[in-house]
């Protein structure tokens, strides 16, 4: 436990500036959302939601870069030094991942909070249940299906690179990994599509009341963007979440195993 705490501290020292910058950027996005001055309320809502989407994508990129830059440890003997320490590779990989995932959770919960604020700015009343879903449920789902596996994949890639370097014969498995990823991703998406909704769906924002539906329809001038009364609740499939979380665990175990076996 002492070693784990120490490695978390090490992660904080190495990547704390990145994490602080990312979390600080929430203030910038809040300012940006507040600056949207479109006359039409629906248009305002659309622009704000677009901004939130951009913030989400940039956050994922920054987090991946934060994890990815750790390959710099390979230089100057830092990887050697860490490899010589008593904690296993799984602990080293797990701590790096835990720090990145915790930063991601805080950031996306912040974005969830901004989404709630956006809806409030647009004059949409929300009950407590919906606010909780927006600030906790949706960020958790979004993280689970995208950022969590992305970070695990990035960590596996940088561990692989730190371990074997893209030199000598190491480039062969490296190239296979890089080229194979899009195919694996396609196969994964097809598989998820096939099993989606086999389990009961997760009614995210299921507590959105009739008032919200009416209000949303009231502000939407374009019928295409109006919310259909026939589908008042957003029901998300559970399968992608569990499949992607399981995939993240597998990727992390592979990264830890590489760490255990590698030469330096």
Partner 1 sequence: MQIARLDGVTKRYGRTEGVRELDLDVGGGEVIGLLGLNGSGKTTLLKLLAGLLFPTSGSVRVLERPARAARADVVYLGEGDALWGWMTPRDAERLFAGLYVDFDAGRFGRLCESLAVPRRTARAMSKGERGRLRLAMALSRSARLYLLDEPLAGIDLLSRERILRSIVQEWHGDETILLSTHEVAEAEGLFERVLYMKEGRVVLDAQAEELRERGRSVVETFREVLS
- Kindly tell me which residue out of 21, 35, 38, 85 binds partner 1, with binding defined by CB under 8 A: 85
**For 235, phi and psi rounded to 5 degrees?**
-110, 115
DSSP string, 39-94: SSHHHHHHHHHHHHHHHHHHHHHHHHHHHHGGGGGGGGGHHHHHHTSSS-HHHHHH
Task: Supply the minimum distance, in Å, between the C-beta of residue 199 and partner 1.
Answer: 42
Stretch that binds partner 1, among 76-84, 100-108, 128-136, 204-212 (CB under 8 A): 76-84
> Rounded distance, CA 122 to CA 55, Å?
19
Is 35 or 80 the residue whose CB approaches partner 1 more closely? 80
Burial grade of 179 (CB within 10 A; 0-12, 13-18, 19 or more): exposed
Task: Supply the minimum distance, in Å, between the C-beta of residue 89 and partner 1.
Answer: 11
Task: Supply the minimum distance, in Å, between the C-beta of residue 65 and partner 1.
Answer: 18
CA atoms within 13 A on the CB side of 257: 6
Stretch that binds partner 1, among 7-15, 99-107, 115-123, 248-256 (CB under 8 A): 7-15
Question: What is the SS3 assignment for 195?
Answer: helix
The C-alpha angle with vertex 166 and arms to 169 and 162, in degrees rounded to 5, equals 115
Task: Supply the minimum distance, in Å, between the C-beta of residue 112 and partner 1.
Answer: 32
- Kindly tell me which residue out of 37, 75, 194, 231 binds partner 1, with binding defined by CB under 8 A: 75
> Which residues, numbered 164-203, are part of the site for partner 1 (CB under 8 A)?
168
Task: Supply the minimum distance, in Å, between the C-beta of residue 9 and partner 1.
Answer: 7
> Rounded distance, CA 73 to CA 157, Å?
14
- Kindly tell me which residue out of 7, 45, 241, 255 binds partner 1, with binding defined by CB under 8 A: 7
Residues of this chain that interact with partner 1 (CB under 8 A) are 2-3, 5-7, 9-10, 13-14, 75-78, 80-81, 83-87, 168, 263-264
């Amino acid at each position: 436990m002492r070693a784990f705490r120490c490695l978390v501290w090490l992660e904080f020292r190495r990547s704390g500036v990145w994490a602080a910058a990312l979390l600080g950027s929430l203030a910038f996005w809040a300012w940006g959302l507040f600056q949207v001055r479109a006359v039409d309320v629906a248009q305002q809502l659309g622009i704000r939601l677009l901004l939130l989407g951009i913030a989400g994508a940039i956050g994922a990129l920054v987090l991946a870069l934060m994890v990815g830059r750790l390959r710099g440890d390979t230089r100057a003997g830092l990887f050697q030094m860490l490899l010589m320490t008593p904690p296993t590779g799984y602990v080293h990989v797990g701590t790096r991942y835990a720090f990145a995932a915790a930063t991601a959770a805080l950031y996306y919960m912040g974005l969830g909070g901004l989404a709630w604020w956006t809806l409030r700015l647009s004059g949409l009343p929300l009950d407590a249940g919906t606010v909780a879903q927006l600030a906790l449920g949706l960020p958790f789902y979004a993280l689970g299906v995208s950022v969590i596996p992305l970070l695990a994949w990035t960590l596996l890639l940088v561990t692989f690179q730190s371990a074997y370097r893209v030199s000598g014969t190491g480039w062969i498995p490296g190239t296979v990994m890089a080229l194979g990823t899009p195919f694996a991703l396609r196969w994964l998406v097809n598989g998820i599509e096939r099993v989606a909704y086999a389990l009961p769906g997760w009614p995210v924002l299921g507590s959105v009341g009739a008032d919200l539906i009416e209000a949303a329809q009231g502000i939407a001038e374009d019928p295409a963007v109006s919310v259909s009364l026939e589908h008042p609740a957003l029901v998300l499939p559970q399968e992608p979440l569990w499949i992607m979380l399981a995939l993240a665990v597998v990727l992390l175990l592979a990264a830890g195993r590489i760490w255990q076996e590698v030469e330096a």
